[in-house]
Structure 1
Amino acid sequence: MIRSMTGFASAKGERAPFTWGWELRSVNGKGLDLRLRVPDWLDGLETALRADLSKVLARGNVTLSLRLTRSDFAANAVLNPGLLTAALDALARIEAEAQMRGVDLAPSRASDLLCLRGMMEAGSEAEDYSALVSQLKAELRPLIAAFLEMRRAEGKALEKLLRGQLDQVVILVGEAATLAEARKSAMADTLRANLARVLDNIDGADPDRVAQELALIAVKADVTEELDRLRAHVEAARELLDNGGAVGRKLDFLMQEFNREANTLCSKSQNSDLTRVGLDLKAVIDQMREQVQNVE
């Protein structure tokens, strides 16, 4: 089964005196772009989270956010006034710049500042957050599982849509083959008339050479190879869907090949009905390309 690059999952947790909320979301991307927003004072957490995500994801712009708040502080903890002043100044500059550019930011909260590294200084010894980090690492596993389940559900819907579009391509290729076969007799009559016209109007023309040139024109107008390649591309796409996994890049390449053959079919059609089928093919292929952009 294929997976979509679109997904979302959230979760909440607590360990006194902390409470937190997770958000894991992704949209489509050419590669894997991980953006983690976690407190920097939780040593080793970001590295572990990034490693776990990299093991199970192949593509997508992925954002993992951890919003952590603390309900109280140790009795011996004191506020770091210098860091608070710097943080407030930076926050004021950011909000002023955002307002000038017409960007609305979410309201800032005191708890966001209190969770900055060094904002609260221990009066005697630093606090040990190893147990908190361990719990947060453990919570990532069910979060990822829920996230992947959504991507699989989205992928299932994508696969159904793509298979339906591939069936449309097969039908249109069949119509094109029928029209191309019916076109042969008309093309033969046209070529014979052209040959007679050339021989009647040009003295000393070599009939064999003229016939060869007209035959070459007929070969160039033949669309059999394009139709055969379209059928082969359909089978290749179906095989990729059957295999599942991270096949988005391969499907994207196949869509380019589909489009190339449809363009050639239109340019060689020399028949209004065949051109119509070629344009219908291009429309279906464009729809497939849009859907494939979201396949992992």
Structure 2
Amino acid sequence: MIKSMTSFGRAQSEEGKASCFSIEMKSVNHRYLDINIRMPRTMLALEEKIRSIISKKLNRGKVDVFINYKNYGNDVGKPKLNMELAKNYYECLKQIQKELGSIDDISTTKIARFPDVINLEEREEDLDNIFNEISPLVESALSLMEEMRGKEGEKLKEDILSKAKIIEEYVGEIEKVADNIPKHYKKKLEERLSELLSGVDIDESRIALEVAILSDKAAVDEEITRLRSHLSQMRSTLDLNESIGRKLDFIIQEMNREANTIASKSTDVDMTNKVIEVKNTIEKIREQVQNIE
């Protein structure tokens, strides 16, 4: 199944628990798999385990993971007083009061508000229990992301196939124009020579030679064959049940290369305009492919 790289997933713990976790994931297109995890500092040791779960399910994309944790229990930690620091703050305040002759407004509350006088001593977390709690949530959020990726991927597939059909139609028109170029050139060459050499016999063999030379230079049969082959490869690739973004990107590059070669050989305005339409449609497909996993 073709998958988009744009997706979102969310999961959280059941209500009523003492500890509540919520996980949000979002991803956008990226050349490789780039996972960024934001989580509480006390849980940083679990980052690699969480990263491993995600990398088993996703192949490409920039993935941002947000893990939030709330503890509604009583054992959330206890305050710890740094009395020595509080005394130092007090002495400093007394010195300021003495030097400036200010009113005595020193209070216990003010001293307690100074940095690091009172710190919350967090209890040590049981990381094994936390991982057992959040790993199913990570899996659940990933499932939602994969579901969204699949739906978006199907839309991309439909759009790419419709554009491939447009390219195929233009290629057919280009082929018809290319087949008629030698005939048109021969006719114009004969008319021009008749004007310039009025009353003088025209060497038909020389005209045939000139037409043959132009036909060889303007021949785009090989390019058209390869372009159609690439379109066929694109369709078969879209049906693969694997990561196909990079493969499609390569096919698009090759299609663009063939279109450029046809444009460089074109000696007909109508043919050139059709090649421009082909290149324009290829570019639209390329933009869509950038978002395919």
TM-score category of the 2 structures, normalised to the smaller one:
0.7 to 0.9
- For residue 219 of structure 1, report the CA deviation from its aligned partner: 0.8
Amino acid of the structure 1 residue aligned with 2:78 = A
What one-letter code is carried by the residue in structure 1 that aligns with 2:64?
A: T
Q: Which residue of 2 aligns with 1:184?
A: 182
Offset at residue 212 of structure 1 (A):
6.1
Counterpart of 2:27?
A: 26
Q: Is the aligned partner of 1:261 residue 2:258?
A: yes
Residue equivalent to 2:131: 133
How far apart are the structure 1 equivalents of 2:195 and 2:34? 65
Contact 1:79 1:121 in 2 (8 A): no
Do the aligned partners of 1:7 and 1:25 also contact (CA within 8 Å) in 2? yes
Cα distance in 2 for partners of 1:46, 1:165 equals 42
Counterparts of 1:157 and 1:75, CA distance in 2: 48
- Report the Cα distance in structure 2 between the residues aligned to 1:77 and 1:17, rounded to whole angstroms: 17
Which residue of 1 is the match for residue 39 of structure 2? 38
Structure 2 CA distance for aligned equivalents of residues 134 and 227 of structure 1:
58
Residue 250 of structure 1 is aligned with which of 236, 247, 254? Answer: 247
CA shift for structure 1 position 191: 5.9
Deviations 1:209-232 (A, max 9, x none): 997676344211111111111100
Return the alpha-carbon distance in structure 1 between the equivalents of residues 17 and 44 of structure 2: 18
Please name the residue that 1:78 is paired with.
79
Correspondences of 1:211-250 after superposition (within 5 Å): 215-250=212-247
Q: Is the 8 A contact 1:58 1:246 kept in 2?
A: yes
Once residues 235 and 166 of structure 2 are traced to their aligned partners in structure 1, the CA distance between those partners, rounded to angstroms, is 13
Report the CA distance between 1:67 and its aligned residue: 1.4
Corresponding position of 2:147: 149
Partner residue of 2:280 out of 264, 278, 283: 283
Contact 1:77 1:121 in 2 (8 A): yes
Cα distance in 2 between the residues matched to 1:245 and 1:211: 53
Cα shift at 1:178: 1.3
Which amino acid is 1:22 matched to? Answer: I
RMSD: 2.8
Q: Please report how far the alpha carbon of residue 159 of structure 1 lies from its aligned counterpart in structure 2 after TM superposition.
A: 0.5
Corresponding residue number in structure 2 for 1:160: 158
8 Å Cα contact 1:195/1:210 also seen in 2: no
- Determine the structure 1 residue equivalent to 2:6: 6
Q: Deviations over 1:159-191 (max 9, x none)?
A: 010111111111111111111122231123456
Quote the Cα distance in structure 1 between the aligned partners of 2:121 and 2:159.
54
Whole-angstrom CA distance in 1 between matches of 2:76 and 2:233:
67
Residues 49, 7 of structure 1: alpha-carbon distance in 2 compared, 3 angstrom cutoff: same
User: Alpha-carbon deviation of 1:58?
Assistant: 0.9
Give the Cα separation in 2 of the matches to 1:219 and 1:227: 15
Distance 1:292 1:196 in 2: 54
Shift of 1:282: 1.0
Higher CA-based Rg: 2
Does the CA-based 8 Å contact 1:30-1:60 persist in structure 2?
yes
Range 134-143 or range 280-289, more displaced: 134-143
8 Å CA contact 2:26–2:64 kept in 1: the answer is: yes
TM-score between both structures, scaled by the size of structure 2: 0.76
What are the residue-to-residue correspondences of 1:39-118 with 2, within 5 Å? Answer: 39-42=40-43, 44-74=45-75, 77-78=78-79
- Name stretches of at least 5 consecutive residues in structure 1 with no aligned partner: 82-117, 201-206
Q: Under a length normalisation based on structure 1, what TM-score does the superposition of the two structures give?
A: 0.75
Distance 1:44 1:136 in 2: 13
Check conservation: 2:7, 2:148, Cα contact below 8 A.
yes
Are residues 75 and 136 of structure 1, via their aligned partners in 2, closer, same or farther at CA, if it must alter by over 3 Å?
A: closer
How far apart, CA to CA, are the structure 1 residues paired with 2:49 and 2:244?
Answer: 27
